[in-house]
Amino acid sequence: MTLDDENQPDASSREKKLYRLVAVSFGLLCVLQAALNIFLRHALTLQLNSLTGERDELKRELNVWVHYSKQGWRYFNGNVYYISSIKKTWKASRDDCRQKGTDLMIINSEEEQDFTRQLKNNMWIGLTDSETEGTWKWVDGTPLTTSYWMDGEPNNSDLKEDCVEVKRT
C-alpha cells in the first residue's frame, strides 16, 4: 500500500457518501415538491373562490336585469332605463323616477342620446334651467358642458322651456 492509498477513502466509503448525497438531494426535492404542491393548491383555491364569487355576482346581476326587463326597463351600455308609457309633465316624471329610487336620465355620450331616440317619440331627460334661467344643469347638479342636439338647443323658447325633451328624429 502506498502513501496515496492510505489517504484515499476506500471505494465502499465513497459509494456510501454518494448514496447519502443522492438520498439527501432526493429528500430535498421531495420537500420542495410538497411545498410547491401546497402553494399551488392554495393559489388555485384562492382563484377558484374568487371566480366563484364573480360567478355568483354575475348571476345576481343577471337576475336583477331579468327582473327589471320584465317591468319594462331597458338596458344600454351598463345602465338601465325605465320609459313610462304615461304622458306626464317634466316635474311629475321626475317625481315618479324619484319614487322608484332613481332620477331622470343624464346623457353622457352621443351614443346614449341616439339610444334614447329609439325608445319613444318624446321623452323627458334630466336637464333643466329652472334654478337659473339660461344656465342648463343636469338633475345631479352638474352643468351642461357637451350636448348632442341641433345648434341652438337646448333653448328657452319664449322663456317657457325650463326642461329638455328628447324627440325622435
* Whole-angstrom distance, CA of residue 2 vs CA of residue 25: 35
> What pLDDT, on the 0 to 100 scale, is given for residue 146?
79
Give the predicted TM-score (pTM) of the model.
0.59
In the block, residue with C-alpha cell 355568483: 56
Angle among Cα 108, 110, 114 to the nearest 5 degrees reads 115
Q: Of 122, 120, 133, which Cα lies nearest the Cα of 162?
A: 133
Cβ-proximal residues to 72 (8 Å cutoff; 6+ apart), any chain: 82, 83, 85
Burial 34-61 (b: 16+ CB within 10 A, else e): eeeeeeeeeeeeeeeeeeeeeeeeeeee
Task: Report CA 149 to chain centroid distance, whole Å.
Answer: 29
* Whole-angstrom distance, CA of residue 164 vs CA of residue 93: 12
Residue 83 · residue 69 · CB < 8 Å: no
Residues of the chain under the 50 pLDDT cut:
none
What the block records as the C-alpha cell of 95 is 317625481
> What pLDDT, on the 0 to 100 scale, is given for residue 69?
81
